[in-house]
Amino acid sequence: MNPFLPISKQEMKERGWDQLDFVLVSADAYVDHPSFGAAIIARVLESQGFRVGVLPQPDWRREESFLALGVPRLAFFVSGGNIDSMVAHYTVAKRRRSDDAYSPGGKAGFRPDRPTIVYSRQLKKLCPQVPVIIGGLEASLRRFAHYDYWDDAVRPSVLVDAGADLLSYGMGENQTIQIARRLAAGEPVSALTDIRGTCYLTDTAPAVAGAVSCASYEKVAQDKQAYARAFQIQYEEHDAVYGKTVIQKHGQRFLVQNPPMPPLEQEEMDWVWSLPFARYYHPAYEARGGVPAIQEVEFSIMHNRGCFGACNFCSIATHQGRRVTCRSEESVLAEARQMIQSPRFKGYIHDVGGPTANFRKPSCQQQLSHGLCRGRKCLAPSPCKNLQADHREYLDLLRKLRALPGVKRVFIRSGIRFDYLLEDPDPSFFRELVTYHVSGQLKVAPEHCSAAVLDRMGKPHIETFNRFAKEFYRLTKQAGKEQYLIPYLMSSHPGSTLKDAVQLAVYLKRNHIRPEQVQDFYPTPGTVSTCMYYTGIDPLSGKPVFVPKSPEEKALQRALLQYYLPQLRPQVVQALKLAGREDLIGSGPDCLVPGGSADRREKKEAPSRGKATPKRRAEKKKPAAAKAREGRKTRR
């Protein structure tokens, strides 16, 4: 195992260091693995010859805890962690969670709400002359004035709230290298105003050629039309090819977002994954139960970044971006061989994926020189005519991984885009996916069945999922296996009326789908859907959108998706009456609940607890560590 970076003065002393160049302050426990953004940034800094230490989860109630590694020579880097702290701490109903997969023993309470702000303020108070650079998902998605679901209000840019000197957004390797080199060369942090992938504040209106302005913080906090238009500008300029500098006034100061840093090319991604990660949590956590989040990634391989699927409720489009890049086959195989040497490896590679598992190339070649299309999606509501669906490279990689000595099975657990899969004229990947890479259940995300709702989500219509499901079960039977699709479903997304929820309930009954878990739409910063939720406007089209907001209506929509549960019958009946669908109460084949006393029927239709059928399978309760996925995309 490679040595960890120091997290204490004692570990600095063991290396012969009396002062660090950079201290990376993270709201997560220290897990030195390339699936953790803070670990990547720390190792990238180390690779440039700097002395780097990691300060994980300092006690924000004690000032001295922020100086546990001393004062760095050049700067503090601050990360709010792998997932948004508010998603980590609160359910969609705003109830406090009791667990945290990114903390020792999986217990909550080791970090504050909004740690990027809390940590940065403390550091500037204690070390006012030392630059503080904020980054990671929490900062990236809050770089402009944004609607905050937990406050139910518009907050200013996190850079303003945190009092930091610079904000790095997106995947930060290259901007981190530039920042570090220029600080080391003696440049003041105030001079670092020309680095792509960063935001800064200035007291005077910057004269940047071609820059675009969006409505001020004060304006968007009061005017929802202005908020929607500002979001549209920010969203459309998030392209490394044609994206412009975006300026938003905050009081008497100006927030300036430089254009995005281009995504890492394959050689650069290979280099990042070749850095000397220990690939495990720091041994200091062993006595406290370890860090559960490692369970999701220790024997998984991330082969790509970016997602041109661009679902409206997903933050990847405004964080990683829509252009897909990938690691080379040699890099992935080298990681697998290293994985096999671990004494904890049992022969199973749990995942070969990323934001979307079956993407390895851009959706078309035009975007390499022209960028992603403005105002259009590659896949929804129907695939673009320029889409190039090709799984050959991914399939060849999977075959080589399966053939490695010591590997028993290779699974795909990341989400796949079934609409993209169906566009591939070669059925080989679909056949081998079913034959070799499904561990009993394949999770897919149709999300809804109403065309109107799916359009608001940026998802394909349900007919596409139906075609995929039919072929999946045909291939499963052909392979002589017993495997199931586990559909992700979302209630109360903007655009979803009670009638749409009824339509979904009927669809589920007709297809014998009984989900044990249903997720309400979770409005998280930086997504198109969250803009819809706050403004009632689709920012991409400018059209008004119905938004279910009251707890009562959201509860009714959620109950309809689990219509078969006896305890939800009163809510289902109420929902059907409000929707004018009393015809679904009774004993007909499409009826969702019986009319009057029907104990015998209730007993007959109780959810299966044992044997499942290919068309009816309840999703098992997910482990605590799986909540890590929520922060990355809320829902795939």
Task: Reply yes or no on whether the pLDDT at 446 is more than 70.
Answer: yes
pLDDT band at residue 596 under the 50/70/90 scheme: low
Tokens of 86: 């508010």
> Which residue's structure tokens are 């795909």?
412
Q: What is the mean pLDDT of residues 123-130?
A: 97
Least confident of 89-103, 164-178, 512-526: 512-526
Angle between helix axes 392-402 and 329-340 (nearest 10 degrees) is 20
d(CA 470, CA 217): 49
Tokens of 290: 């370890």
At 2 the pLDDT is 72
pLDDT band at residue 517 under the 50/70/90 scheme: confident
At 536 the pLDDT is 98
Distances (CA, A) of 61 to 85, 111, 186, 233: 17, 10, 33, 39
At 518 the pLDDT is 86
CATH code 3.40.50.280 region(s) in the chain? 9-202
For 611, counting Cβ atoms within 10 Å of its Cβ (0-12 exposed, 13-18 middle, 19+ buried), the class is exposed
pLDDT digits (tens, 9 = 90+) for 4-25: 999 999 999 999 999 999 999 9
The residue among 600, 603, 606, 580 whose CA lies nearest residue 516 is 606
Task: Please tell me which residue, 616 or 540, carries the higher pLDDT value.
Answer: 540
Phi/psi for 155 (5° steps) reads -105, 155
d(CA 548, CA 491): 10
Q: What is the mean pLDDT of residues 349-378?
A: 94
Rg over alpha carbons for the chain, rounded to the nearest Å, is: 25
Residues found in the chain? 636
The residue among 288, 278, 276, 271 whose CA lies nearest residue 325 is 271
Answer whether 50's CB lies under 8 Å from 21's CB: yes
d(CA 35, CA 226): 37
E strand map for 452-575: 484-491, 519-520
d(CA 24, CA 12): 14
Q: What is the mean pLDDT of residues 57-71?
A: 97
At 1 the pLDDT is 61
DSSP 578-622: HTT-GGGBSSSTT-SB-SS--HHHHHHTSPPSS--BTTB-PPPPP
At 497 the pLDDT is 97
Query: How large is the greatest C-alpha to C-alpha distance in the chain, in angstroms?
Result: 80
DSSP 399: H
Out of 3.40.50.280, 3.60.60.10, 3.90.180.10, 3.40.50.410, select the CATH number for domain 9-202. Answer: 3.40.50.280
d(CA 594, CA 585): 5
Give residues with Cβ within 8 angstroms of 9, minimum separation 6: 68, 69, 70
> Which residue's structure tokens are 């202005």?
226
Task: Reply yes or no on whether the pLDDT at 636 is more than 60.
Answer: no
pLDDT band at residue 623 under the 50/70/90 scheme: very low
Give residues with Cβ within 8 angstroms of 501, minimum separation 6: 491, 556, 557, 560, 561, 575, 579
Tell me whether strands 146-148 and 132-135 are parallel, antiparallel or unpaired.
Answer: unpaired
pLDDT band at residue 611 under the 50/70/90 scheme: very low
d(CA 75, CA 130): 6
pLDDT digits (tens, 9 = 90+) for 561-570: 999 999 999 9
Q: What is the mean pLDDT of residues 457-481?
A: 97
pLDDT digits (tens, 9 = 90+) for 33-48: 999 999 999 999 999 9
Phi/psi for 118 (5° steps) reads -60, -50
pLDDT digits (tens, 9 = 90+) for 304-349: 999 999 999 999 999 999 999 999 999 999 999 999 999 999 999 9
Mean pLDDT of the chain: 93
Distances (CA, A) of 33 to 74, 252, 294, 306: 25, 42, 8, 19
